[in-house]
Amino acid sequence: MVVRLKTKALFIGPYTSSQQRLFDRVFLLREREQLTFEAIAKLLTRAGTRSINGCLLGAEHVFSIYKKGKLRMERLTLKVEPELLDLWVE
């Protein structure tokens, strides 16, 4: 039996707890509050939040966090459908 499994869902790419918290905050502010990336950056900066590397957050950083986090979220929720090839019984 040959089983072909081709998916990006097998690569999870770990987030640290601080990365996950930052993404969660950005995601909620963008999705629920409908804030712009610039507004989110200003809000987080006023609250004293910095990037994982300790830099001030700009709109570009916030967009990157949001975009990459959403891609990761989608990848983790993918449904994998295995495809059976060359099935035989002897």
Q: What is the pLDDT of residues 57-89, one digit of tens each?
A: 999 999 999 999 998 888 877 776 776 666 666
Residue % of the chain over a pLDDT of 70:
74
List phi, psi (to 5°) of 84.
Answer: -90, 130
Number of domains in the chain: 1
Dig out the tokens for 14 from the structure: 């770990």
Which residue segment(s) compose the domain that 47 sits in? 19-80
Is residue 87 assigned to a domain? no
Across all residues in the chain, what is the average pLDDT? Answer: 85
Question: What SS3 state is found at 5?
Answer: coil
Is residue 3 assigned to a domain? no
Q: How many CA atoms lie within 13 A of 13 on its CB side?
A: 13
Is residue 33 assigned to a domain? yes
Model pLDDT, residue 64: 95
CA 3 vs. chain centroid, Å, equals: 29
**pTM beyond 0.75:** no
Dig out the tokens for 15 from the structure: 């987030």
